[in-house]
Amino acid sequence: MARRRVVITGLGTVNPLGQSVAETWKNAREGVSGVGRITHFDPTEFRAQIAAEVAGFDPEEYIPRKEVRRLDRNAQFFWAAASQALKDAGLSYDEDDPAALRAGVACGSGIGGIITFQDEVGVLRDRGPGRVSPLAITKIISNMAGGLASIEFNLFGPNICTVTACAASANAIGDAAEIIRRDDADVMLSGGAEAGIVELSVASFASARALSTRNDDPAAASRPFDADRDGFVMGEGGAVLILEERQHALDRGATIYGEVLGYGMSADGYHITMPRPGGAGAARAMQHSLRDAGLGPGDIDYINAHGTSTPANDSTESSAVKAAFGDLAYKIPVSSTKSMTGHLLGGAGALEAMLCVLAIRDGVIPPTINYETPDPECDLDYVPNEAREASVGNVMTNSFGFGGHNVALVFGPPS
């Protein structure tokens, strides 16, 4: 029996570059930076005082007012992106619709409702246990963003949550595709969201020397693969892709953006934060995704890198690409859109997957901005500073998480 094919029929996003797919893609093509000084709290006493925030987000544009207070900001982002994606796909379900039983959710988040966590710990400490919100747990747990999407949009098929740090939403997309392939669903709302720009997480990442401290020049702080990179910039937001069994999509006349061709995973098994030197684990994930797609190294036209702007990640990922692709690595454009969006942590993979799909659609490779000084250990084609028009067929996107979680996804054009 032939494997069921999985296509992408809807996109939605709220992120530092825009609160729609069109706005995000325009700014990504133009090399706009979404990084600025933190406004969510006073960062004066913090080593890192910059982040990529979603400015002016109003959850009530998508969510009934009475429901907003029940959701942490990360779930609000996911709800908004899901609303956009379902509308884009032309899909909606009534509670008694049999098709709703074949539509599910796969949501990824690295740290869930950390805003609520921090706030309610403060309430407990300052005001006592009787004042802790009864909604605290449901706002904190990572799976609730997907659970609420299922409730709101009547999606009664499989509902899963992946919590694999910065690989979480890439895992969610890959797992959603596998659910459709094995005939457990026809439609999956897949992606992820994160809202981690709070004192606790910024202080912790900064203490670990993971964040950029280029506080005097925020727009230039995220500079993947550049020799002067000094850490990543935290971002926030979410992105959702509607995955659908291909014939199901064709039968209803859906617009198809592209196809999910391959999904590869591996573990570094090395360190809680550092990637394995040489990139062997990451290379295996890329190789597994190519094998799953039935493609060879010469079939990839663009790689959207994990590209965090940390010294260890960027050099290791460059080595991993060379290990996976051999000499062809030098011929494949590799860019990091985190240079513009910052790092959405668990939401990053979904946003980058969306940008890959748009690169296929429009034949445009988004740039790595702020690339000024080459690093001898990073010697690939990083599409520096300006988008590039190109014939883009099959693309790969990489997502790597703390704990050594490696994911690679391969997308292809509609066919």
Q: Are 186 and 248 in contact (CB under 8 A)?
A: yes
Assign 207 to helix, strand or coil: helix
Q: Are 290 and 342 in contact (CB under 8 A)?
A: no
> What is the rounded average pLDDT of the residues 85-111?
97
Structure tokens that stand for 78 in this block: 């996911």
Chain center to CA of 384:
21
Q: Which CATH number fits domain 6-251: 3.40.47.10, 1.20.140.10, 3.40.50.720, 1.10.287.3240?
A: 3.40.47.10
> What is the rounded average pLDDT of the residues 138-142?
97
Beta bridge partners of 262: 410
Nearest to 402 by CA among 285, 289, 267: 267
pLDDT in tens, 305-330: 999 999 999 999 999 999 999 999 99
Beta bridge partners of 409: 263, 397
Beta bridge partners of 263: 409
132 DSSP 8-state letter:
S
Which band of pLDDT confidence, cut at 50, 70 and 90, is reported for residue 103? Answer: very high
> What is the rounded average pLDDT of the residues 62-81?
95
User: Which helix (DSSP H) or strand (DSSP E) does residue 352 occupy?
Assistant: helix 348-362
Angstrom distance (rounded) from CA 228 to CA 221: 10
Q: Are 33 and 266 in contact (CB under 8 A)?
A: no
Structure tokens that stand for 197 in this block: 């720009």
278 burial via Cβ count (<10 Å: 0-12, 13-18, 19+): middle
Residue ranges, comma separated, of all CATH 3.40.47.10 domains in the chain are 6-251, 264-412
Is residue 288 part of the annotated active site? The answer reads no
pLDDT in tens, 9-29: 999 999 999 999 999 999 999
pLDDT in tens, 365-409: 999 999 999 999 999 999 999 999 999 999 999 999 999 999 999
User: Which helix (DSSP H) or strand (DSSP E) does residue 188 occupy?
Assistant: strand 187-194
Which residue in this structure is represented by tokens 């797919």? 21
Of 58-72, 285-299, 332-346, which range is least confident? 58-72
Which residue in this structure is represented by tokens 């360190």? 271
Angstrom distance (rounded) from CA 265 to CA 409: 9
**Per the residue annotation, which of 107, 161, 166, 356 is the catalytic one?**
166
> Cβ contacts of residue 210 below 8 Å, gap of 6+?
231, 232, 273, 310
Structure tokens that stand for 214 in this block: 């280029």
Angstrom distance (rounded) from CA 254 to CA 34: 32
Question: Does the structure show a pLDDT above 80 at 31?
Answer: yes
Is residue 248 part of the annotated active site? The answer reads no
Q: Residue 267: what are its φ and ψ, rounded to 5°? A: -120, 135
* The predicted structure's pLDDT at residue 348: 98
Which residue in this structure is represented by tokens 């309610």? 120
* The predicted structure's pLDDT at residue 171: 98
pLDDT in tens, 244-285: 999 999 999 999 999 999 999 999 999 999 999 999 999 999
Is residue 306 part of the annotated active site? The answer reads yes
**Per the residue annotation, which of 107, 161, 288, 306 is the catalytic one?**
306
> What's the pTM value of the predicted model, to 2 decimals?
0.97
Angstrom distance (rounded) from CA 242 to CA 12: 9
> Cβ contacts of residue 126 below 8 Å, gap of 6+?
none
**Per the residue annotation, which of 161, 343, 356, 378 is the catalytic one?**
343
Helix ranges restricted to H, 109-184: 114-127, 136-140, 144-153, 168-181
Beta bridge partners of 334: 303
Structure tokens that stand for 391 in this block: 């014939």
Structure tokens that stand for 66 in this block: 């009475």
Which band of pLDDT confidence, cut at 50, 70 and 90, is reported for residue 5? Answer: very high
* The predicted structure's pLDDT at residue 92: 98
Cα angle 300, 305, 306 (rounded to 5 degrees) comes to 145
Angstrom distance (rounded) from CA 232 to CA 344: 10
User: Which helix (DSSP H) or strand (DSSP E) does residue 314 occupy?
Assistant: helix 311-325
Q: Classify domain 264-412 at the CATH superfamily level.
A: Thiolase/Chalcone synthase (3.40.47.10)
* The predicted structure's pLDDT at residue 164: 98
